[in-house]
Amino acid sequence: MPIDLELEQVLRPPQIPMVPYPPKVITLANGNKMVVRQALREEVPMILKGVEPCLWIERDYYDIVSARLYGELLAWYRHRVKSEYCLIGQIDGYLVGAVNGRLENEKVGMSYHTLAIDRGLRIGSHLFAAKMEYHLEYLKQEEVLIVAESPIGFRRWMIEYPLEETKIPHELGGGDSWRLTREIYFKARERLVVGDRPVPPDLLAKAEDEILIVDDDIIREKIAGLKGR
């Protein structure tokens, strides 16, 4: 598709410089090692292959979350969103979850979505915590604005941290934002944010080498629990 470079300059939002998120590794309940790292823009097409099967799962609002995440990642890939980032979780190279967000400005972060592709291992909790860690510890932001689209998300974010209710609209629409301040984050950090750094070189190399995606059916089974039916 030919690009009109002058027009493209107008359409592309300006980007706030972001320090990279340092990768970490987390031992999950079943002993698997999940590498959490920042995705590169050029990795988006492969991540979308892992998100796509979730678009068709109604259970626990996976369809909404996946559809929105898909669009947000595509917007980042096509330079149509300001200061977005994506963190991913990988086990043996396989994509098991993704979270994204962006910077509203240098002080305020906007949390977008959290998608656990493998379930029952608190992968969503770990990845959401990594997202908050990025905003508050590495990007040094003052606060992050958050909404939940599923009851599970509400329980995990609003109650477990617990977040502060606000009347500030969130750019995803829906309910008003809840706020994670530095004070709340650092109070909750000890019980919610874990991970070892540096990631052993072999684990990191495996993760960075290629994002592997399991079969669509397996993704649907892991999320919707269709085994044995």
Partner 1 sequence: MRDVAVIGVGMIQFGRRDEDTLMDMLAYASLKALDDAGLGDGTVDAVYVGNMAAGMLQHQSAVASSLVDRLSLLPAAADVVENGPASGGSAVKNGLLAVASGYYDTVLVTGGEKMREVTGWRATDIVATMTHPEAEYPYGITLPGMAGMFTRLYMEKYGVTREMLVAVALKNQEIGALNPYAHVEMALDKNGIFNSPHSIVNNPMAADPLHLYDACPVSDGAAAIVITALDKIKNPAKAPVLIAGFGQATDTQTLQERDDPTDLKAVTLAAQQAFERAKMKPSDIHVAELHDAFTILEIAESEHVGFFKKGEGGKAALDGKTRLGGQIPINVSGGLKARGHPVGGTGVAQICDLTWQLRHELPKERQVKNAKTGLSVNFGGFGNNVLAFVLRRVDS
Under a CB-based contact definition with an 8 Å cutoff, are residues 117 and 50 in contact? yes
The region of 26-34, 43-51, 106-114, 174-182 touching partner 1 under the rule CB under 8 A is: 26-34
Q: Which of residues 150-209 bind partner 1 (CB under 8 A)?
A: 151, 190-196
Q: Is 27 a residue that touches partner 1 (CB under 8 A)?
A: yes
The region of 8-16, 46-54, 87-95, 115-123 touching partner 1 under the rule CB under 8 A is: 115-123
Give the up-direction half-sphere exposure of residue 177: CA atoms within 13 A in the CB hemisphere: 17
Under a CB-based contact definition with an 8 Å cutoff, are residues 109 and 87 in contact? no
Whichever of 103 and 115 has its CB closer to partner 1, that residue is 115
CA dist 69 and 116 (Å) reads 12
Among the listed residues 14, 17, 31, 173, the single contact to partner 1 using CB under 8 A: 31
Residues 6+ apart with CB under 8 A from 134: 21, 38, 85, 87, 101
62-101 mask for partner 1 (x: CB under 8 A)?
A: ----------------------------------------
Beta strands in the chain (DSSP E): 24-27, 33-38, 84-91, 94-103, 108-116, 143-146, 164-165, 178-181
Q: Is 36 a residue that touches partner 1 (CB under 8 A)?
A: no
Under a CB-based contact definition with an 8 Å cutoff, are residues 197 and 188 in contact? no
Whichever of 70 and 128 has its CB closer to partner 1, that residue is 128
Q: Is 125 a residue that touches partner 1 (CB under 8 A)?
A: yes
By the criterion CB under 8 A, which residues form the site for partner 1?
A: 26-32, 59, 120-122, 125-126, 129, 151, 190-196, 224-225, 227-229
